[in-house]
Structure 1
């Protein structure tokens, strides 16, 4: 019988978009892979099952701190895992990591592994609610991670924070270069330096820098009315959401173009000149930046955990302070006035994507650390 490997996510989309190549590699190596997620749609199930993965649904209250709902989710997940009787567990995002790590203490495994793909709202600076969420998150990680054989981190800031808080011992940590990017799928493209355009791909959230992007666009539009600013992404929700009316008004005023969310981002990346992500969210390593780099685009992003690792200052783009639309506008202006830099920095982005962020190299490191070959 093949070894059974369970991968646990908080949403089925990410199993395909962020872990697809890893799942396929595990299956190629002969492992019987079970994907656990709440709320599969038929398309996601069909894709995963076409790879020969076995899809299992479990109940999860993805956000919020309702202890009764979370206990119910924990029991439900525990039952599903015990039915499968896996040899290995690989989980990512806070609730799957905490729940599966606690469950792993009760069952016999060859290996328990977790991935921390950024810290999100739990470790963002904020008011009283954020502080409470932070305290709860730290406590949950502290009681659960000790049973992990390895914990993977996508940036050194997160790794150092977990070690400094005594959530995990240093010898159990592994640093990987984000989720990686398929450099063949996200092919190299010609630099777009004649008609300059900027692109951001993100949910409409304040912490993703959507407002700062739009306000920087307002400044540049007064000086260079022909320059385009594009936004791709679904509407946000909760207190961090940017008003859809605000974005649509900016679209009506010809400040930005907002087509909403699209399934295939590649044509949009290809036709834009520079990729921008002025995020102050606690990212792991933003996949959107890696996709833009792979397609040969210069990057403007923040000197913020997860984002800063993607840019060699002045080589493939620029790092800017968080929450500063004026400096963002300055860097945008630089590319408009120095078009040849779009070519030079775009080539460097592609080179970094190939050498550092190639998804197959990233996955190979994970597989080696899990001792699966």
Structure 2
């Protein structure tokens, strides 16, 4: 009988963007693979990869305990029916609910991946402030139970969780991001014309989109001739979502261009000169990996996840989070120096090849599965 891996993840698009290649590799290695997620636009991508898909309705905004208990009951039913050998839970809510369901149904091997610490830890509003103690308590109980391993995408988060005693150090593993397809994202020469600065992300305040627009305004007022582009769709289920009306107002003022959701990120990177992501906190942003592989210099924030990709002065520049003034100064440096852009872009490609390749991430993840299953055999 094949060993069965069950992936629990909030959204099908995030699974396809960050974990599909690993799941396909697991399937090709002989595992039966089941994906439990909210199904939207990527059902065919998952099924055509030879994976089984179980729809699971999930509300990322919900903090209603009764709603979460209903979801937990549904998960327990799924786990009881599927009898997975190993469960891979991705993102905080999936980690907590999935681990409880796995323990109740006697799943013996658990891999938890908190990814980034998310909105609960990056936001300063009243709801997240009240939620944080409960989340911390739940993490201590369920993040790292017996026969489990915890995968982190960056060193900062791994150290934080270990020092807080949420995880045991000998069960924590660093796998840096989702990996990057080095054939798809390749170095291309800069386009001619005025500099284009590109930010690609979901349109969320905690991605630093507002600071990006403010920096664009500051530079325009200084007479800097550059084009600022936003690529990314709306995410109304996220509490940090930017209203469409706000985005349209920025566009109407001529501050930025907003292209909406795009799947041709490699082409978008080929048409820009500088990449920018002033996020408040990340796991390890795939967009920055794609930018580095495409030999584009990067301006990002000195926060967990982002500084895992960018070494200040090497393949980009780091600035403080929530600081449009420093962001504008860093962007100005690169806008005015083609030589520096080329040097940093070359360094980024080298780092991508040595540290962030797709093959490296797949190999490391399959090794975690194998080690987890060896413990219970």
Distance, in Å, in 1 between the alignment partners of 2:177 and 2:142 is: 23
Counterpart residue number, 2:272: 272
Counterparts in 2 of 1:92 and 1:208: CA distance versus 1, 3 Å = same
Determine the C-alpha separation between the residues in 2 that align with 1:224 and 1:236: 33
Q: What whole-Å deviation, never above 9, does each CA across 1:19-66 have from its counterpart, x for those lacking one?
A: 01101100110111001112x13x522211111101111232322211
CA distance in structure 2 between the partners assigned to 1:20 and 1:152 by the alignment:
16
- Distance apart, 1:225 and its partner CA: 5.1
The question of whether the paired residues in 2 share the 8 Å contact of 1:60 and 1:73 is answered with: yes
Aligned partner of 2:165 in structure 1 is: 166
Give the 3-state SS of the residue equivalent to 1:123 in structure 2: helix
Stretch moving more, 342-351 or 127-136? 127-136
Q: Distance in 2 between matches of 1:106 and 1:256?
A: 50
Residue 151 of structure 2 aligns to a residue whose secondary structure is strand
What's the RMSD between the two structures over aligned residues? 1.8
Q: CA deviation at 1:119?
A: 0.4
Question: CA offset at residue 338 of structure 1?
Answer: 1.1
**2: CA distance, partners of 1:225 / 1:300:** 17
| Unmatched segments (≥5 aa) in structure 1 | none
1:350 corresponding residue in structure 2: 349
Counterpart in 1 of 2:205?
Answer: 206
Inter-partner Cα distance in structure 2 for 1:201 and 1:323: 17
Q: What CA distance in whole angstroms lies between the structure 1 residues aligned with 2:147 and 2:329? A: 45
| Aligned residue in 2 for 1:7 | 7
- What is the TM-score of this pair, normalised by structure 2? 0.93
Provide the rounded CA distance (Å) in 1 between the counterparts of 2:350 and 2:190: 14
**Residue in structure 1 matched with residue 31 of structure 2 by the alignment:** 31
Partner of 1:335: 334
Counting only pairs closer than 5 Å after superposition, residues 131-150 of structure 1 correspond to structure 2 as: 131-145=129-143, 146-150=145-149
Task: Please state if 1:325 is matched with 2:324.
Answer: yes
Instruction: Return the offset for 1:236.
Output: 4.6
Question: Residue 189 of structure 1 corresponds to which residue in structure 2?
Answer: 188
The count of residues paired between Structure 1 and Structure 2 equals: 370
Q: More displaced, 343-352 or 257-266?
A: 257-266
1:114 counterpart residue number: 112
Task: Give the whole-Å Cα distance in 2 for the aligned partners of 1:253 and 1:229.
Answer: 13
Q: d(CA) in 1 for partners of 2:76 and 2:233?
A: 33
Provide the C-alpha distance between the structure 1 equivalents of 2:8 and 2:207, rounded to a whole number of angstroms: 25
Instruction: Measure how far apart 1:324 and its partner are.
Output: 1.1
1:291 corresponds to: 290
> Which stretch of structure 1 is more off in the superposition, 171-180 or 144-153?
144-153
TM-score after normalising by structure 1: 0.94
Flag structure 2 segments of 5+ consecutive residues without an equivalent: none
| Alignment deviations for residues 242-267 of structure 1 (CA, whole Å, 9 cap, x no partner) | 34333323322322111211222221
Q: Distance in 2 between matches of 1:261 and 1:51?
A: 23
Is the 1:200–1:275 contact (alpha carbons within 8 Å) kept by the matching residues of 2? yes
126, 129, 132: which one aligns with 1:128? 126
Q: Please list every run of at least 4 consecutive aligned residues from structure 1 whose deviation after the TM superposition is greater than 6 angstroms.
A: none
Distance in 2 separating the partners of 1:102 and 1:109: 10
